[in-house]
Each structure stands twice: as structure tokens, then as C-alpha cells.
Amino acid sequence: MASTVGDRHVRGVIDLYGAMWSAARATSIRRHLDIAVEITMVIAWFVIRTTTSVDDVAYVLWVVAAGALALVAPRSGLVVFVATSVFFEPDNLARTVGSRELVVVPLAIGVIVRVAADRFHWRPGAAIWLALALAAGTALGVAHSSIRFDDEVALHAAQSWLGNMLVPITVLVAAAWTARDGSLRVLVVAIGVGVVAAIVCLAEYAAPGSISTGSFEWVGFWKTFNGRLAGTIPSPNALSAQLIVPTAVALTAVLLARDVRLRVFALVAAAPMLVAHYLTFSRSPLLGGYVFAVVVAWRVRRALGILVLVAGVIAAALFLPTYLQIRSQSALEGGVTPGSILVASDAYRFRAWGAAANMWADAPLIGQGYLAYKELADTYGDPVLGSPHNDWLRLFAEEGTVVGLIGLLFIATTARSLARIPGWLGTGLLAGFAGYVVAATFNNPLLFVRVSAVAFALIGVGLALAERARAPSAPDREPTTAPPALH
């Protein structure tokens, strides 16, 4: 009897604090205090990064404050993280892990606590569960590497997993949870910061030294790529992958949105990102543009989508050899051999894919271990690249068939979920995700936190909107006909 009374007392205390928190949150939203805090945190980050280093006590205090914000207000914490994540930061804690990435730890705890406090009423879709399974499967790959390789390689694998898997999946889940009520603030911030990154890179490209030798040189990694655009990320292909989802959403709004003002804003946002894509001279925008055209046409009318798909295949068959010949003559990587239609990076990729396939065939069940490609590629036929340049094939080579299939199921399930979202936004998110999948087929965007923070935040919001579209009658959801809120 005493135990029952005690349990009721504890539940009463929890309910009391829950009610107080709900009232405080409602007041914050009503007065836009949360947005004010987010803006203040981002401005403080910018000032601190401009005036001090990441090892300075001021920056450590900022990380602590951002973590506390993420713990008590996950949506605001995610907004701050995404808004600052596209700019370069040295890996001062571990490989692929900087001080800023620590914010995802309290962010994850904050989401878990809030879900538990809500008595697990949140029901994420299958894509979220597959993403968590992917994180778990690759974590087992880290354990495999710790057994198979020496301590240095094992530590490298563990550190890389933190930045390359734990951060993206955490951002995805957090974005989905924070957008469960239809909020688009994380989406707007992710697109906006993509635009800013494109403008910064273009400014340096147009006037070399204007950014890289000034007070704001810290925003980028100013490596020379012989005329190819980079900057905030030390890779033109990664920069294109970082911008591919925001570009698709903005461009779809230009083409399909009914609100004229929104179309104008979207055009202003899309323009610098489109120029940046072109100047990266990456394959991904070209292939992603084709996928974008097919998705948009398909969503407008299925017959039109089929027509664009078939026309693209025919055009590729007719003009691809000519394009490759021109590219081999003009690409700065140079031709593989005189008269070849492929450049060196093309041949290297094909060889890397073959090596990854050989690694998978040699250990089809559990793979070779997380980041094992870097250690074993030479043995399996790739003496040049340290990565297969295909994140989906990498799963099969390093974690085996089960985890590889989970990755493919994640792609299929996410695409199916995003296709449920009505209107131009659903079309843009689906096209953007398809473009990201293409980019990850030819490159390694998962190796860059600054890519994942943008892409997975947008995809996570999309998954939340898809669940709202799938279950509009749920009592804790607003009707899908209501415009999503920015709070």
C-alpha cells in the first residue's frame, strides 16, 4: 500500500514538472524567445570563432551552453548545431570529431528524455528504425575492426564512427522528432545555411584571398583543387553533396510553389547554390539534375515522368560518349591514357568499386570491419584510393550483407515515405534525397559531418512530415491541410 502511494506521489511530481515545462515552453514559443536564444547562440558562436580558437575557454563555454540548450530544448539545440555545422572546424578532439560535434550527445539525451516523458507516444516510421539499425550495424563493424586490427586502426575506426555515423543518425532522429508537430524551422535553417555556404565559397572563388586571408578565413578549408570550387569543405564533391538537398527543395519551390513571394525567395536561394554546383565540376549535380527532373515530372504527372526518364536514357546513350570525350580533354585530373574518354578519377572509382566487391565476396556475412577498406584496399586491387567512393557499397564490404541490405532498405523506405508528402515540398525533399543517394554512390558524403548535418536534418524533417501525411487522424496531430509552422 505504501509503495502504491509512493508511486502516485512520484507520478504526481513528474506531472507537475511536466505541466510547468509545457507552460514555459508555450510562453517561449508565443513570445518567440526560443528563436531569440537561437539567434543569440549563433551570433555568439560566430564572434567567438572569429576572435579565438576552438581550444580557447570561451569556445568551450559556448559548447557547454549549446549542449545545455540541446538538452532542455532539443529543437533549438538542433537549430544551433545545423546553423553552425557547415563551416570548417578542426578535429581537435578526435578524428572527424571537433568540439562542436559534442552537442549531439546532449541533443540525443534530450530527445530520449522528452520521448520517455511523453510516455513514448511518438511513433517514428520504419525509416527511422532502419537508420538506428544502420548505426547499430556499423557499431558492430567498429567492434569487428577492434578485434581484427591493431589499436591505432581500431581507435581510428571508433573515432570515425562517432562523426560519420553517430552524428548523422542522431541529427536525422532529432530532426524527425522536432518536426513531428509540422515545424519547418530546422528545414528553413538548413536551406539558409546552405545558401550562405555557397555564397562564401563563390566569393572566395571570384576573388581569391577575399575570405581565405581575411578575418573569416576560419570558415573554410582553403585547399586548391585546380579551378574546382570548394572551401567550407575540403572537397568539391562533398560541397556539392552538402548543397544537393537544399538546392532541390529551393528549386522545386521555384517551379511548383503557388505563392509568388515564396517562389521569388526560393529563386534567390537557389541561384548561388546552382552556380556552386556547376563550379564544383562534380558528377553528382549532373546525375542529380537528371534524377531531379524525373522526380518533379513524375510528381506532376506520371506519364510526364516516364517520358523524361526515357528521354534521359536515350540522350545519355547518344551524347554520353561525346561528353566523356570532351570531359577527358578538359578535366583537370587528365586522361587515363591518350585518347581515353575517361579521366583518371573515373577509372580509379571503377577499380575501387571492384576492390570493394572483392572484399564483400571474401567476407559476405560480417564484412571486413568498419573502415577496413583503408587498410585492405591494396590487397583487393585498389592501391590508390583509401575509400571505395560509394557509401552504399562500403556497407557491404565493411559490415557484410545484412548491414548492406539495411542500407538499401533505408534508401527505399525513406524514398517511399518522402513520396507521401503532398505538394511541392514533398517533391523537393524526395528529389533532394534521391540526389544525395546518387552523390553517395560516387563519393563519400558520410565521411563529412558538414554534409550530413544539412542533408540528414532536411531528410529527418521530411520523414516527420511523411508520418503526419500518413496518419492525419491521430489526435496529437494537426490536419495536414494546415500550413506547417515555423516554430
Work out the average pLDDT over 279-293: 86
Q: What is the pLDDT of residue 393?
A: 94
Q: What is the pLDDT of residue 478?
A: 40
pLDDT at residue 476, rounded to an integer: 44
Read off the pLDDT band of 472 (50, 70, 90): low
Indicate whether 92 pLDDT > 80. Answer: no
What is the pTM for the complete model shown?
0.86
| Residue 305 pLDDT | 84
pLDDT of 301 reads 87
pLDDT digits (tens, 9 = 90+) for 321-358: 666 665 555 455 544 444 444 555 667 888 899 999 99
pLDDT of residue 334: 46
Q: Give the residue-averaged pLDDT of 277-298.
A: 87
Q: 225 pLDDT band (50/70/90 cuts)?
A: confident
Identify the band that residue 20 occupies on the pLDDT scale cut at 50, 70 and 90.
Answer: very low
pLDDT score of 185 more than 80:
yes
Mean pLDDT rounded to a whole number for the chain: 85
Per-residue confidence band for 144, with pLDDT thresholds at 50, 70 and 90 = very high
Stretch 284-300: mean pLDDT, rounded?
88
Q: What confidence tens digit (pLDDT) does each residue in 58-83 have?
A: 999 999 999 999 999 999 999 999 99
316 versus 55: the higher-pLDDT residue is: 55
Q: Name the band, by pLDDT with cuts 50, 70 and 90, for residue 110.
A: very high
Q: What would the pLDDT profile of 398-449 be if each residue is shown by its tens digit?
A: 999 999 999 999 999 999 999 999 999 999 999 999 999 999 998 888 888 8
Q: All 3 cell numbers of residue 454?
A: 544539412
Between residues 231 and 126, which one has the greater pLDDT?
A: 126
Determine the pLDDT at residue 81: 96
Cβ distance 268 to 192 under 8 Å?
no
Residues with Cβ < 8 Å from 458, sequence gap 6 or more? 175, 187, 190, 191, 245, 246, 249, 429, 432
- Lowest mean pLDDT, pick from 114-118, 223-227, 366-370: 223-227
